[in-house]
């Protein structure tokens, strides 16, 4: 190699190594992020000690929720996902669930699958699911991560029809609007445990959905 090449680099080698090097750095960064997330998950396991979220003391529940946020930050979920990608994601979810419903998927699971999606189309789909026989409790739980005015209205209607208050509470996880807070004060004021439940779903998969897709429509 000439002195010129030693100082400024062999252009062919530099060009050929650039992509692999970038990929290795990216993989290394992702591995670190995953390790951080795994470490936080171990912290959550230490707090819960095998208990369901509903059985945790309020202070422990708060710690778990804070830990979920740390996982989200460690994985860069908020920073990596643009508004356009969110719109595409919720559209894909809605369309996929419609296709699955046509293929005979259980309506209650389809209702659960709408968690985190608060578009007008998804709200219409929820109403149609109930008309076809989906359980109102499943629809209530599937409202997790949605805090739109339409979703708050639906929660009220579900309660009036006799939906289980626990499912209504779990379905409020991820809904942090002013209106959702007023709803909590109005309906859960006499039951601190029920109020606490409304900040985290009892289902890990729905908690993941709320973290991943954000609060669509809030």
For 150-179, the DSSP string reads HHHHHHHHHHHTT--HHHHHHTTTT--SHH
Q: Is the same domain home to 111 and 54?
A: no
Q: For residue 78, what pLDDT is reported?
A: 55
Q: Is the same domain home to 45 and 153?
A: no
**What is the value of pTM for the model shown?**
0.60
Q: Which of 23, 48, 79 is the last residue of a domain?
A: 79
Q: Is residue 218 part of a domain?
A: no
Nearest-10 Cα torsion for 42, 40, 175, 177: 150
Q: What is the pLDDT along the chain (218 residues), one digit of tens a residue?
A: 443 343 334 544 444 555 565 566 656 556 666 788 788 888 888 888 888 776 778 788 878 878 877 776 776 655 444 445 667 777 888 899 999 999 999 999 999 989 888 899 999 999 999 999 999 999 999 999 898 999 999 999 999 999 999 999 999 988 888 999 999 999 999 999 989 888 877 666 555 555 444 544 44
Q: Is the same domain home to 75 and 87?
A: no
Q: Is the same domain home to 50 and 125?
A: no
Q: Is the same domain home to 113 and 178?
A: yes
Q: Which of 50, 79, 108 is the last residue of a domain?
A: 79
Q: Is the same domain home to 188 and 111?
A: yes
Q: Is the same domain home to 115 and 190?
A: yes
Expressed as residue numbers, the domain containing 172 is 82-213
Contact 124, 153 (CB under 8 A): no
Q: Is the same domain home to 175 and 103?
A: yes
Q: Which of 55, 79, 103 is the last residue of a domain?
A: 79
Q: Is the same domain home to 100 and 202?
A: yes
Q: Is the same domain home to 60 and 107?
A: no
Q: How many domains does the chain have?
A: 2
């Amino acid at each position: 190699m000439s002195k010129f090449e030693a100082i400024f680099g062999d252009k062919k080698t530099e060009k050929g190594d650039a992509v692999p090097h970038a990929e290795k750095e990216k993989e290394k960064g992702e591995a670190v992020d995953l390790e951080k997330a795994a470490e936080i998950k171990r912290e959550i396991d230490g707090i819960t000690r095998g208990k369901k979220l509903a059985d945790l003391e309020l202070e422990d529940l708060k710690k778990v929720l804070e830990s979920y946020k740390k996982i989200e930050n460690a994985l860069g979920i908020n920073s990596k996902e643009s508004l356009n990608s969110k719109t595409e994601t919720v559209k894909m979810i809605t369309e996929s669930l419609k296709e699955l419903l046509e293929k005979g998927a259980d309506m209650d699971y389809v209702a659960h699958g709408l968690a985190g999606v608060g578009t007008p189309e998804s709200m219409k789909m929820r109403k149609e699911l109930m008309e076809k026989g989906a359980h109102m409790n499943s629809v209530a739980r599937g409202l997790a991560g949605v805090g739109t005015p339409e979703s708050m209205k639906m929660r009220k209607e579900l309660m009036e029809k006799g939906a289980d208050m626990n499912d209504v509470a779990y379905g409020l996880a991820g809904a942090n609007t002013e209106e959702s807070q007023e709803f909590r004060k109005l309906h859960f004021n006499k039951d601190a445990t029920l109020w606490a439940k409304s900040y985290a779903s009892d289902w890990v998969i729905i908690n993941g959905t709320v973290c991943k897709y954000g609060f669509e429509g809030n």
